[in-house]
Structure 1
Amino acid sequence: MLQKLHILAIGLLLFSTVFATVHIPSAHADGTIEVSTDVLNVRDKPDANSLVISKVLRGETYPVVDTKGEWIKVQVTSSKAGWVASYLVTDKQGSPSPSGNSESTDGVQVLTDDLRVRSGPGTSFNVIGFVQSSDSVSFLDQNENWVKIRTSGLEGWVSSEFVSIQTKKKKKKETTDSQEQGNESTPRSATILTDGLNIRSEPSTQSKVLGTLSNGTVVEVLSQKSSWLKISFEGETGWIHSDYADLHTDSGNEAPSKKKGKSSATISVSGLNVRNEPNLNGKIIDQISQGTEVTIISERNNWCEIEYANGNTGWVAGWFLERKSLSANPGNVNVTGDGSIIILDNGTNIRSEPSTTAKVVYRANEGETFSIKGLEDDWYKIELSDGTTAYVAGWIVTTKGQAPTITRAGSEQYLRNKVIVIDPGHGGKDVGAIGVQGTYEKDLTLRTSRLLQDKLKAAGATVYLTRQNDSFVSLPARARTANHHGADVFISVHYDSIDDSSVTGTTTFYYGGADQQLADSVHQSLIQLTNLRDRNVRQENYLVLRENMQPSLLLELGYISNRGEELTILSSDFQERAATGIYQGLAHYFRDR
């Protein structure tokens, strides 16, 4: 009996040993990441001390094959995969594939006339034009409250309440080079309609980015596959998405123009290196001081070829350039052509002279239009219905027809070029607080953070999220993200819960005395815009604040343990107001520094 038991024990041991050596792969993670630091090490194991097997560069994208804690495994090449730190990349989830049975956006149907188009996703952004229900409108981006569109050279954001996004089904089919559309014997060209358009190695959002193109650049089109264009530019070929190019056929003996699209920019850092090649290995041939104006000639992989003093040229890192947009010429201008202004708000003052102290001669209502007779500084000279002339401030109206647009910088002027890290609290296995109706705090924090991210990016800030989806990120990693990027501000977004269901309100926490000014600015703005109970600004020893070397806050935006407040917080209206409150609070903070 003892001998039989001994044999059985040996058999069980061998059985368990064999199965212990079988590798059961973890489920592959969906999505794609984009490198958000200059040079990122790819390691053979999810450990900062493990072997570096490759290096990847800022702006490059790679498919995700696995995740483990704070590490993401990416497929670098067809034969090589490795691990990168999650806080040094940006999630590019949801990128549509050009093939397969999927729905893709086709266009936007405007549901009302004279819909305001704004420069950013929020009512605090300038009105830059109007769209009509009969206009042809392209879809660019969206969040839960706003849709980014393009129409007739106008690009901006409209309220999602007044539009319907059209979708179309794409049927899966085998595509070969012989099925590409277009006759290469007929020269065709296209004009790029947006800045920073990626040129890819294949007709897919998953393929490698070879370079970027600027708005207005003209490229030669070699062929077309589905919604992708194969192009040639400066001796190189690649693929761009047709939604962001104006395709036209050249006739007669005219060949496609190879003229480079040029735009202006200002150096935003001191001592920017100019290199002879568009990468960090390029030889440094010069240095340019902060504030220097340069001309962008071309772009490649987030690097810009520039022309600067005395016609010199070279390559600089594009993320250190502040691009310029065209604006109306100052001074006194005689406006010719069919130009008129449109009143945006009821009770707009029309004055006798171009000054805020001049006599008010008429109060106009929303939608009224007046012919433009001239422009004096930032004031439009207009003709009233009785034939007399008067003046209206150009920054509070919009125009149509052949007329210059006047804008005055709002909150965005204080946020431009700031680096802001937003931390959507909790995530993954850590659901955070649970509301009366079962609402997870982790879902609410991500909603608010995404709305805030869109507003800050529209204002010209550089924004990083500590998590882009429902994933777990440790508290130290959240603080490290802000420290790594040298953030101007770190904002951790939360919602509160307590056993006493009668408790309501908003609380703002900071760690050190140096952060109190930031806390006061953001908290005051939040209380004003959300109308929740003021639970004051408080000092607290939270890890994400204590371990943060950057100015930082932790916001508790309301109590989901209170049934009424939970319902309020869940609404899109509250989410919009909360994100706007934080946005305006940050602008006030930077303005007063």
Structure 2
Amino acid sequence: MYRKLKVIIALAIILTSFLYPLSSNKVEASQAVRVATDVLNVREQPSTSSAIVTKVKRGETYPLVTKQKEWYKIKVGNKEGWVASYLVVETNSVSSNANNGVKILADSLRVRSGPGTNFSIVAFVHKSSTVTYIEENENWVKIRVDGKDGWVSKQYASISKTSTTPSTSNSSNSFVGEVTATSLNVRSEPSSQGKVVGSVKKGQQITVLGQQGSWYKIQHSNQQAWVSSEYVKTTSTPSSNSSSQKTNAVVTASSLNVRSEGSLNGKVVGSLTRGANVTIVNEQNSWAEIEYSGGKKGWVAGWYLEKKAASTVKPQANTTGNVVVLHNGTNIRSQANTSSSVVARANEGDTFQIVSVVNDWYKIKLSNGKEAYIAGWIVSTSGTTQSITRPGSEQYLKGKTIVIDPGHGGRDVGAIGVSGRYEKDLTMRTANLLADKLKAAGANVHLTRSNDTFLSLQGRVQTSHYHKADAFLSLHYDSINDPSVTGTTTYYHHASHKKLADAVHSSLIQSTKLRDRNVRQQSFFVLRENRQPSILLELGYISNRAEELTLQSSDYQERATTGIYQGLAQYFKSN
């Protein structure tokens, strides 16, 4: 009997391993996580009852060691510990796009503040120019041009491997660092995949020549090489022009500890009170190295410092520049208001010299030498004059906390479309584009998962509660045995959340033109257990062959996310 029981148990274990594979996953060496909450506990074991190893802060980035269910193991200095997966965002410790450039294929291409034609124009770029690549999403590429970040249509841009990132080898900004790892690999390129060309030991002083991402460029054995910045502690600031790199700041906490290193594990070496003046000489993660009290140095939590604005000369009201007309038939008026007479009309691409700025209007010089006015929110500018924009939908989204829940993930693939497409992949695409649109509007956006990871329903709700979401959106794609069924449905549970469902659904139907399957009340877990305003969106049927093709297109993703974006803005406007 005992032997039979052992066999049964063994078979059960084997069967369970097939049905429910272990959720502890290997990760790439370059993977990291960025903390997405103010203070996050790092624990000895993947459990909320386990002892706290240390604490980390919002915005800090740490190497990812492994995953286990809803927990991630990370490395903090020389320690390792576990954090809740829904309180961090996965990223790469080294950007794989560091050497990418974007070549512009159209003349006077509009650069927008967000990924969508509803976002304001912040600049123009011209054909054959190459600009810095940041990221891309569906139909849009995020670039950096003249110090501004913005989005351009992917249709008119070609991503290449031409780096436009400024060289990091300027020795005038070099500084000395001390190795903190027992043995730190020196690599041929700024990547964990770079060839190991040597090593440096703990306590060894190295001269840092430049930085790319989270990697420091150093001189090693008569060649330039790279080491991970995580294991190098700054011991001196740039030798030349260091004064220009320093920033004055004021302590905002009633009592602020000064530590020996930029971490809560650092030894307390001093204390400062509110109003104390300090000089910031270096910043790492959310920590600042400061000079205080007659030359003393130490590290403090950067979020308790308020930087003083550098003394600058205020720009004149008649700062030089030009306006560029964006639309044919644009009115040019005699005074700076819409009720004054029209003295001329301009077409797309026409350029006029700016004389001065009057409220939201530019005073411009016409070709005949006369002066007139043009509305600042319907033109773009070149030169040093500040662009004028009138708030649109973004004014209602700015500062709002929105949690986006891409349905399914990991071993839970969700519905499977006619073509074999997994629902979990489609919801992730939609979530990423929607997140970029909302971030561009100034919203605080949190995703319950940022990659193909399994997350329990409870974990999704906890994310909503933790961030005190102003709106929680669970994104899904529908499936049914009847392949003729099509359309979009929006669900809510609590009666008080119906306004959110109505606003988003109405805008979504208007934008996507899919069949309207109405707003319905349903007891889904992520809605029923959610204290925050919450809805679940079924964005179309992947069980219908024609609709699945539509849903997979970048055009549909654009229209769906724009509909949700506008629906949220309408909801917040009326509440």
Q: Is the 8 A contact 1:188 1:222 kept in 2?
A: no
For residue 573 of structure 2, what is the aligned residue in structure 1? 591
Q: Tell me the distance in 2 between the aligned counterparts of 1:529 and 1:106.
A: 33
Corresponding letter in the other structure for 2:564: I
Matches within 5 A, 1:130-529: 130-167=124-161, 188-189=172-173, 222-224=208-210, 255-260=240-245, 275-277=256-258, 285-286=273-274, 299-302=283-286, 318=303, 333-335=317-319, 337=320, 339-529=321-511
Corresponding letter in the other structure for 1:472: F
Corresponding letter in the other structure for 1:149: I
- SS for the counterpart of 1:123 is coil
For residue 109 of structure 1, what is the aligned residue in structure 2? 103
CA drift of 1:547 comes to 1.1
CA drift of 1:153 comes to 2.7
Q: Tell me the distance in 2 between the aligned counterparts of 1:40 and 1:205.
A: 27
Write out per-residue CA displacement over residues 93-119 of structure 1, whole angstroms, 9 at most, x where no aligned residue.
48447xxxxx85331111111111112
CA drift of 1:72 comes to 2.0
Write out per-residue CA displacement over residues 292-330 of structure 1, whole angstroms, 9 at most, x where no aligned residue.
xxx999755325799xxxxxxx97764999999xxx999
For residue 562 of structure 1, what is the aligned residue in structure 2? 544
Q: Is the 8 A contact 2:61 2:285 kept in 1?
A: no
Q: Tell me the distance in 1 between the aligned counterparts of 2:287 and 2:531.
A: 29
- SS for the counterpart of 2:461 is helix
Matches within 5 A, 1:525-540: 525-540=507-522
For residue 84 of structure 2, what is the aligned residue in structure 1? 85
Describe the shift of the 1:229–1:510 C-alpha distance in structure 2 as closer, same or farther (beyond 3 A).
Answer: same
CA drift of 1:240 comes to 7.7
- SS for the counterpart of 1:423 is strand
For residue 123 of structure 1, what is the aligned residue in structure 2? 117
Q: Is the 8 A contact 1:40 1:56 kept in 2?
A: yes
CA drift of 1:476 comes to 0.8
CA drift of 1:450 comes to 0.3
Describe the shift of the 1:583–1:304 C-alpha distance in structure 2 as closer, same or farther (beyond 3 A).
Answer: farther
For residue 70 of structure 1, what is the aligned residue in structure 2? 70
Describe the shift of the 1:420–1:26 C-alpha distance in structure 2 as closer, same or farther (beyond 3 A).
Answer: closer
Describe the shift of the 1:377–1:45 C-alpha distance in structure 2 as closer, same or farther (beyond 3 A).
Answer: closer
CA drift of 1:572 comes to 0.6
CA drift of 1:166 comes to 1.2
Q: Tell me the distance in 1 between the aligned counterparts of 2:533 and 2:383.
A: 46
Describe the shift of the 1:123–1:316 C-alpha distance in structure 2 as closer, same or farther (beyond 3 A).
Answer: farther
Q: Is the 8 A contact 1:302 1:319 kept in 2?
A: no
Describe the shift of the 1:334–1:485 C-alpha distance in structure 2 as closer, same or farther (beyond 3 A).
Answer: closer
Write out per-residue CA displacement over residues 420-455 of structure 1, whole angstroms, 9 at most, x where no aligned residue.
211000111211122222221111100010001112
Describe the shift of the 1:139–1:521 C-alpha distance in structure 2 as closer, same or farther (beyond 3 A).
Answer: same
Two-structure CA RMSD over aligned residues (Å): 4.6
User: In percent, how many aligned pairs have the same letter?
Assistant: 51
- SS for the counterpart of 2:519 is strand
Q: Is the 8 A contact 2:55 2:264 kept in 1?
A: no
Describe the shift of the 1:449–1:52 C-alpha distance in structure 2 as closer, same or farther (beyond 3 A).
Answer: same
Mean Cα deviation higher: 554-563 or 342-351:
342-351
Describe the shift of the 1:530–1:360 C-alpha distance in structure 2 as closer, same or farther (beyond 3 A).
Answer: farther
Corresponding letter in the other structure for 1:153: G
Write out per-residue CA displacement over residues 345-396 of structure 1, whole angstroms, 9 at most, x where no aligned residue.
2332222321122233444322222232332221112234444433211011
- SS for the counterpart of 1:566 is helix
Q: Tell me the distance in 1 between the aligned counterparts of 2:93 and 2:211.
A: 21
Q: Tell me the distance in 1 between the aligned counterparts of 2:462 and 2:511.
A: 31
Q: Is the 8 A contact 1:187 1:256 kept in 2?
A: no
CA drift of 1:89 comes to 1.6
CA drift of 1:204 comes to 5.5
- SS for the counterpart of 1:574 is helix
Q: Is the 8 A contact 1:105 1:165 kept in 2?
A: no
Q: Tell me the distance in 2 between the aligned counterparts of 1:319 and 1:87.
A: 26
Q: Tell me the distance in 2 between the aligned counterparts of 1:181 and 1:464.
A: 32
- SS for the counterpart of 1:105 is coil
Q: Tell me the distance in 2 between the aligned counterparts of 1:85 and 1:528.
A: 38
Describe the shift of the 1:476–1:280 C-alpha distance in structure 2 as closer, same or farther (beyond 3 A).
Answer: same
Q: Is the 8 A contact 1:104 1:168 kept in 2?
A: no
CA drift of 1:34 comes to 2.0
What is the TM-score with the length of structure 2 in the denominator? 0.74
Describe the shift of the 1:567–1:347 C-alpha distance in structure 2 as closer, same or farther (beyond 3 A).
Answer: farther
What stretches of structure 1 of length at least 5 have no aligned partner? Answer: 1-5, 98-102, 170-179, 191-199, 207-220, 232-237, 242-249, 288-294, 307-313
What is the TM-score with the length of structure 1 in the denominator? 0.72
Q: Tell me the distance in 1 between the aligned counterparts of 2:280 and 2:389.
A: 24
Q: Tell me the distance in 1 between the aligned counterparts of 2:72 and 2:472.
A: 23
What stretches of structure 2 of length at least 5 have no aligned partner? Answer: 15-21, 175-183, 193-206, 219-226, 231-237, 291-298
Q: Tell me the distance in 2 between the aligned counterparts of 1:40 and 1:126.
A: 36
Q: Tell me the distance in 1 between the aligned counterparts of 2:365 and 2:304.
A: 45
Q: Is the 8 A contact 1:135 1:151 kept in 2?
A: no
